[in-house]
A and B are shown apart, each in its own frame.
Chain A
Amino acid sequence: NAGVMQNPRHLVRRRGQEARLRCSPMKGHSHVYWYRQLPEEGLKFMVYLQKENIIDESGMPKERFSAEFPKEGPSILRIQQVVRGDSAAYFCASSPPEQGGETQYFGPGTRLLVL
């Protein structure tokens, strides 16, 4: 059973460009979470999605950031018009659909560098 997969592992963008980060959850997992780890800071929750639905986006910046988890294919975190402050490691986690607090398994992350 493959773990959570994220690509690309490293992404370099110039200010104003768009960044697309992909996450494929573990097989059988229908819950996807995106977290951001800024330099010298801890992991911060951004958004929680189930297939075709955004359940909680309370940690998502109001502008330029969007996320989706389509019926088919990976979850995508999209950052439009990137700025230097967006440089961070972005982690995706997935968990199974059972009730109760379930273990979230993390992917290797995408390290975004904005020049």
Chain B
Amino acid sequence: SQELEQSPQSLIVQEGKNLTINCTSSKTLYGLYWYKQKYGEGLIFLMMLQKGGEEKSHEKITAKLDEKKQQSSLHITASQPSHAGIYLCGAFTHNQAGTALIFGKGTTLSVSS
């Protein structure tokens, strides 16, 4: 079965610093999603990548899907305390509608001011 591995598991950065979170799949990715979860709350959709080489940005967060479609990275520029939370990558295991997502275990980000 397909698995998603996220690294690092946790990260503490100083406010203003850049950081990168990685998500590696054991199989080809058919749609890669990044969500953010604040402790005790639901998941907030950040962005979705489908094509190899695709890159998307939202405010100071950029995500890329590599050409071979087995790895994605999430990059935050000039981190702020509001970026703190748990970042989850999710992926479809099949290229069809109505497929359940599998998730990595998450990367917990803390931003110190």
Contacts and interface: CB of A to CB of B under 8 A. Distances in A.
A106 interface: yes
A65 interface: no
Nearest to B44: A106
Given A33-B100, A41-B105, A42-B105, A108 B42 contact: yes
A100 interface: yes
A14 B109 CA distance: 34
Contacts of B40: 111
Contact of B103 (A31, A42, A48, A111): A42
A35 B96 CA distance: 19
A8 interface: no
A25 interface: no
Interface string A37-52: 0000111110010100
B5 to A, nearest CB: 10
A73 B104 CA distance: 32
A16 interface: no
Interface stretch (B29-37, B56-64, B67-75): B29-37
B99 to A, nearest CB: 6
A67 B55 CA distance: 37
A101 B45 CA distance: 14
Interface string A7-50: 00000000000000000000000010101000001111100101
A31 B30 CA distance: 18
A109 B106 contact: no
24 contacts: A35-B103, A41-B105, A42-B104, A43-B88, A45-B100, A45-B101, A45-B102, A48-B98, A50-B98, A55-B98, A97-B97, A100-B96, A100-B97, A101-B92, A103-B33, A103-B48, A104-B33, A105-B45, A106-B35, A106-B42, A106-B44, A108-B41, A108-B42, A109-B41
Interface of B: 30-31, 33, 35, 40-45, 48, 50, 88, 90, 92, 95-106
Interface of A: 4, 6, 31, 33, 35, 41-45, 48, 50, 55-56, 59, 91, 93, 95, 97-109, 111
